[in-house]
Amino acid sequence: MTSPLATVGVLSIGQMGLGIAKLLVAHNYRVLTNVSNRSPATQKRAQDAQLGLVSNDVELVAESDYILSIVPPRDAVATANRVIDALKGSSTASKTTPLYYLDLNAVAPSTAKSIAEAFAQNSSDKELRFVDGGIIGGSPAPKADEAWTKPGIPLSGPYPLSEAPHSGADLAEVLNTRFVDEKIGSASGLKCCFAALSKGMTALLLQSFSTASSLGVMPHLQSYLEEFNPSAAARAEKSITGCPSKAYRWVEEMNQIGECFAEEGGWAERAKVFRQIADVYDGLAIVVDKRGGTEGMDTAQGAIGALREGLQKRDRRMSVEELEQDDR
């Protein structure tokens, strides 16, 4: 049996993380993860995908050549801190090459820079090398001809993945990466710009369709879209039904995009619009959480109905709180 090309630690095993882990296993990489504190169902998914399970982060850091951080944006900093703590508790004396940490989360350039600085303060570049990145597109999936559909992964920073000593060039190709430049923040900023277009449009669709539903004219809106903007009509159903399960992830992503546009794009206070977009997804995430899942939200009508229900309950709750505040 051929020896693995390198060992890659993946944190964590959500839909995207699991898809990338499976892609790597299929291309002869040894993939490890720490799911010791996760549900039995998550642990079983990891085992079924032929991933190696370690009992703690120290073990993950000690055995990995690379660590891919693929978590909800709200957890990006905490995940980096986990690895920093693990580095402190791990003996790196036997390692002859540095650990590469690829932060592939949807965060603002300033957040990526702060994570890179935290690593720099707690380790040398002989121990760890930070790579800024992002993921654009859906989770990897095998095709009938043994090829894979893959998302695009832009990377940036002073340490190109393709130059890493343990099969770096092959890993860069397998992951479908593109080196942007040597600046930390460029890749994460590119991801922000892309996501603002796709997920920003989905938020507009949610507001437009829910308002049309409240007016009782949603079928007419759909009809006019199909007649005068058929490409938008085709995207609308897919976008609306595809976002409920991901809405909780997109809340902080919109906040991070706002930071990116304010700090890097020069939009300052005008970038606060993304806080409002974040609130759209927060409302949808609350509905999904209270329902215990996305059942009944697999059509545009069902998803919009659930969102409207959540908005009405939210508005009533806020009104009561405001009255109580006035009474004080």
As a whole number, mean pLDDT of residues 303-317 equals 78
pLDDT of residue 90: 76
How far, in Å, CA of 136 to CA of 175, rounded? 12
pLDDT at res. 236? 93
Q: What is the mean pLDDT of the chain?
A: 92
Burial 148-181 (b: 16+ CB within 10 A, else e): bebbebbbbbebbbeebebbbebbbebbbbebbe
The band of 200, judged by pLDDT with boundaries at 50, 70 and 90, is: very high
Q: How many helices (H) and strands (E) does the chain have?
A: 12, 10
What confidence category does residue 1 fall into, taking pLDDT thresholds of 50, 70 and 90? low
pLDDT digits (tens, 9 = 90+) for 264-278: 999 999 999 999 999
CATH class of domain segment(s) 188-327: mainly alpha
Same fold, 7-184 and 188-327: no
Rounded to an integer, the average pLDDT of 210-220 is 96
pLDDT tens figures, 156-186: 999 999 999 999 999 999 999 999 999 999 9
Q: 84-117, pLDDT tens digit by residue?
A: 999 988 765 567 899 999 999 999 999 999 999 9
Residue 152 pLDDT greater than 70, yes or no: yes
Instruction: Please tell me the CATH superfamily of domain 7-184, with its number.
Output: NAD(P)-binding Rossmann-like Domain (3.40.50.720)
Least confident of 69-78, 87-96, 100-109, 133-142: 87-96
pTM across the whole model:
0.91
The predicted structure's pLDDT at residue 37: 82
Show me where the domains of the chain are located.
Answer: 7-184, 188-327
Least confident of 16-25, 31-40, 105-114: 31-40
Among 210, 109, 195, 124, CA closest to 159: 124
Q: Report the distance separating Cα 245 and Cα 247, nearest Å.
A: 6
